[in-house]
Amino acid sequence: MPNFDLGESIPPDTAHAVSVSLPTWKANVGYEEGESWVVDKMVTGYPRFFIHKSIQAFAEDIVSKFGKSGQLAMLFPTKKTAQRCLQFIRDKAPAELTGDLEVLHLVLDTSKENSEALQTVRPAVSAVLYKQEAFSVAKQYWQHSGDGVSSRRAEFCHGLLNDGLLVLETAKSPRDSYQKCRGPRRYQQRPSSIDATNGHASLKGQAKNGVNGAAEDTTEALESSRFLEERFGRNLSVSLVANAKSAIRRRIAGTLTETIDLTAALPSMQSDARGVTNFREDDVYLFPCGMNAIFTAHQMLLRAREPRKSVNFGFPYVDTLKILEKFGPGCVFYGRSSSVDLDDLEQRLKSGERFLALFCEFPGNPLLTCPDLARIHQLADTYDFAVVVDDTIGTFHNVNVLPFADMVVSSLTKIFSGDSNVMGGSLVLNPNSRYYTPLKETLTREFEDTYWAEDVIFLERNSRDFISRIDRVNANAEAVCEILLAHPSVTQVYYPKYNDSRPNFEAVKTSNGGYGGLVSCSFKSKAHAEVVFDALETAKGPSLGTNFTLSSPYVILAHYQELDWARGFGVDPYLLRFSFGLEQTEELMAVFSKALEASESVPSE
């Protein structure tokens, strides 16, 4: 098993890695406390919580060229997304912090001759400039909405800015903007080596202080990177991004599992995919991350229906609850997703309360409990509310929840990608939903495709073998579960196969599916949990669904400021969560057995 140093990207030497190494219990606490011995060593982090250093560098240059002293910039792919952030700051920040708010839109300079590649990716970025003191509010929007620019978009557009090819849309003269934009070139990125693990051009040297020296022409750098990608047979040309998106949509729909020729024209698709008749490819929408799909689902429902409170059913991933609380009329929260909770919800409905939608995860995170989707669907039909199910942890290979939902959202960053080097998300409409027509009309009118072309290409490549990978992580998770269940230091194992809610999982389990690759467990004491975590010889950091096993003290990372609140819903603050990868099963079993043995020296309390 590999060892990772504190703060190292996971995978290592990967410019756009999704996770970061926090290898000890103390390091996780230090990260949450903002201690410099941890934070200063982090070369990256989970992208919605840690603003990638390429994005930071780009934002700094935008402020230095176009902003005022004391301002910061938050970067977004379009004017609309930037305007939403600006409005959020106005609504949530104290009035004295909302001065100097403005949005700048940077676009490709069309007065110059540009390559076909530049025209294909349509580079643009919008910057929200705000006072430094308002950073915490702006960061809330970035984290909750998932609207922010990806690191690949920022890296590419930053190079264009430095080369005078990205200019202010409102500039009087492209040449004037060009002269103003030249400025320091210290952040220009260029490929310097090939990442042997992923077979792609790794843009190293972009960490702490940027890159010094003269920059290459941006277009040449892009073409060099693309040549390496295509030379090693891994990625498509960006000119095929439309076909790559189509392939991703079809894999999500469940109609495409084999490799096909994406250079050829793809026929239209209409089928009974995922057990739903009249399903079409354009019922699948792609997003830059999973949380952005959830955010969009909520926003579209607010526009398509009469705005009302929603229901968050089950202990949620942290930002789902925040979206429902902060971006609309609010929500009612049921933290256990139990039959008792459903009884209470039914009583509310019978007494006349009405809701916009019910949001739930299947299974939930981190307890892996599964709500009763059949009963929820029945209540939704009777009392007129939409059902939105997040099947990220279950995965749409293991479970098929679409017949019970109006919308299904997923984080494609996880096992669908697996390589932990690109973000992505999806939203699937059920064409037989009573809300299909108003939702489809609203999405047709409102939806912006902000998924950056290079990210699409990486996701398409990574997802070609996702079914075989899911089958393997299913098997590895079940094997290690047996070891955890048998060990005296472990007091509870959370896994759909062993939870009381297993019948709810079985009701939607696919014929070829398993129980997933995510497992959590609790121990006799905090001390037992710490010893086991520190002894584990796996990668340790945020995220899940990676092709390698990834461990974390999940509640410490996700709910550090609200541990007692989590405990109130039956969530042990000191549980460990394991996302199993593709390692040899016997090797994983030995690693976990060894770590559990370390807990046997902990005195009983």
**Model confidence band, residue 267 (pLDDT cutoffs 50, 70, 90):** low
Whether 429 and 440 have beta carbons less than 8 Å apart is answered as yes
Q: Please report, for the domain that includes residue 561, its CATH number.
A: 3.90.1150.10
Provide the pLDDT for residue 419. Answer: 97
Q: Check pLDDT > 70 for residue 262.
A: no
Q: Which residues are registered as beta bridge partners of 509?
A: 399
| pLDDT mean over 172-190 | 37
Same domain, 159 and 278: no
When mean pLDDT is compared across 41-45, 167-171, 264-268, 443-447, the lowest value belongs to: 264-268
In a domain, 124, yes or no: yes
| pLDDT mean over 144-154 | 97
Q: Check pLDDT > 90 for residue 114.
A: no
The domain boundary, picked from 446, 463, 480, lies at 463
Q: Is the dihedral of CA 311, 316, 320, 326 positive or negative?
A: positive
What's the gap between Cα 227 and its chain centre? Answer: 28
Same domain, 392 and 280: yes
| pLDDT mean over 543-566 | 96
Provide the pLDDT for residue 271. Answer: 66
Q: Check pLDDT > 80 for residue 195.
A: no
| pLDDT mean over 259-271 | 59
Whether 215 and 163 have beta carbons less than 8 Å apart is answered as yes
Q: Please report, for the domain that includes residue 279, its CATH number.
A: 3.40.640.10
> How far is the C-alpha of 9 from the C-alpha of 268, rounded, in Å?
40
Q: Which residues are registered as beta bridge partners of 75?
A: 127
When mean pLDDT is compared across 66-75, 97-106, 201-210, the lowest value belongs to: 201-210
Residue 264 per-residue DSSP state: S
E strands, 3-144, where?
A: 9-10, 19-20, 71-76, 102-108, 124-131
Q: How far apart are the first and last CA of the chain?
A: 32
Same domain, 526 and 552: yes
| pLDDT mean over 307-316 | 96
φ/ψ bin of 196: left (φ > 0), alpha (ψ from -120 to 50), beta (otherwise): alpha
| Long-range contact set of residues 212-216: C-beta below 8 Å, sequence gap at least 24 | 212/186, 214/185, 215/159, 215/162, 215/163, 215/185, 215/188, 215/190, 216/188, 216/190
In a domain, 431, yes or no: yes
Q: Check pLDDT > 70 for residue 16.
A: yes
- The single residue listed with the structure tokens 């999973």 is 290
Higher pLDDT, 243 or 180: 243
Same domain, 306 and 399: yes
**Model confidence band, residue 429 (pLDDT cutoffs 50, 70, 90):** very high
**Model confidence band, residue 258 (pLDDT cutoffs 50, 70, 90):** very low
Same domain, 402 and 477: no
Q: How far is CA 138 from CA 134, 294, 449, in A?
A: 6, 19, 22
Q: DSSP 3-state assignment of 3? A: coil
Helix (H) or strand (E) holding 15: none
Same domain, 399 and 474: no
**Model confidence band, residue 275 (pLDDT cutoffs 50, 70, 90):** confident
Same domain, 597 and 522: yes
What is the rounded average pLDDT for all residues in the chain?
87
Residues 6+ apart with CB under 8 A from 350: none
**Model confidence band, residue 222 (pLDDT cutoffs 50, 70, 90):** very low
Same domain, 368 and 508: no
Whether 533 and 25 have beta carbons less than 8 Å apart is answered as yes
- Convert 400-426 to b/e letters by CB count within 10 Å (16 or more is b): bbbebbbbbbbbbbbbbbbbbbbbbbb
Higher pLDDT, 98 or 259: 98
Helix (H) or strand (E) holding 576: strand 576-579
Please choose, from the candidates 440, 577, 433, 603, the residue with its C-alpha nearest in 3D space to the C-alpha of residue 518: 577
In a domain, 223, yes or no: no
Which amino acid is present at 465? D
Residues 6+ apart with CB under 8 A from 393: 361, 362, 363, 364, 365, 368, 414, 516, 518, 544
In a domain, 188, yes or no: no
Same domain, 401 and 517: no
Provide the pLDDT for residue 196. Answer: 27
Same domain, 455 and 488: no
Same domain, 161 and 263: no
> How far is the C-alpha of 362 from the C-alpha of 336, rounded, in Å?
13
> How far is the C-alpha of 56 from the C-alpha of 139, rounded, in Å?
12
Q: Check pLDDT > 80 for residue 595.
A: yes
What is the tens place of the pLDDT at every residue in 360-397?
999 999 999 999 999 999 999 999 999 999 999 999 99
Residues 6+ apart with CB under 8 A from 352: none
Task: Kindly give the interhelix angle for 53-66 and 151-162, rounded to the nearest 10 degrees.
Answer: 40
Instruction: Determine what percent of the chain is predicted with pLDDT higher than 90.
Output: 78
Provide the pLDDT for residue 122. Answer: 78
Backbone φ, ψ for residue 589 (5° rounding): -60, -40
**Model confidence band, residue 99 (pLDDT cutoffs 50, 70, 90):** confident
> How far is the C-alpha of 526 from the C-alpha of 84, rounded, in Å?
42
| pLDDT mean over 176-190 | 36
| pLDDT mean over 113-135 | 85
Higher pLDDT, 111 or 534: 534
| pLDDT mean over 72-87 | 97
In a domain, 301, yes or no: yes
Q: Check pLDDT > 80 for residue 192.
A: no
In a domain, 3, yes or no: no
The number of distinct structural domains making up the chain is 3
Q: Check pLDDT > 70 for residue 432.
A: yes
pTM: 0.88
What is the tens place of the pLDDT at every residue in 563-587?
999 999 999 999 999 999 999 999 9
Q: Check pLDDT > 50 for residue 356.
A: yes
The domain boundary, picked from 168, 198, 219, lies at 168
Helix (H) or strand (E) holding 310: strand 310-313
Q: Check pLDDT > 50 for residue 354.
A: yes
- Domain span including residue 92: 53-168
Report the alpha-carbon angle 11-16-21, nearest 5.
40
Provide the pLDDT for residue 266. Answer: 58
The domain boundary, picked from 119, 150, 168, lies at 168
In a domain, 332, yes or no: yes
Q: Check pLDDT > 50 for residue 528.
A: yes
Same domain, 271 and 314: yes
Residues 6+ apart with CB under 8 A from 573: 555, 556, 559, 563, 564, 566, 567
Provide the pLDDT for residue 260. Answer: 53
- The single residue listed with the structure tokens 């089928």 is 271
**Model confidence band, residue 279 (pLDDT cutoffs 50, 70, 90):** confident
> How far is the C-alpha of 581 from the C-alpha of 298, rounded, in Å?
32
In a domain, 23, yes or no: no
Q: Check pLDDT > 70 for residue 211.
A: no
Q: Check pLDDT > 60 for residue 463.
A: yes
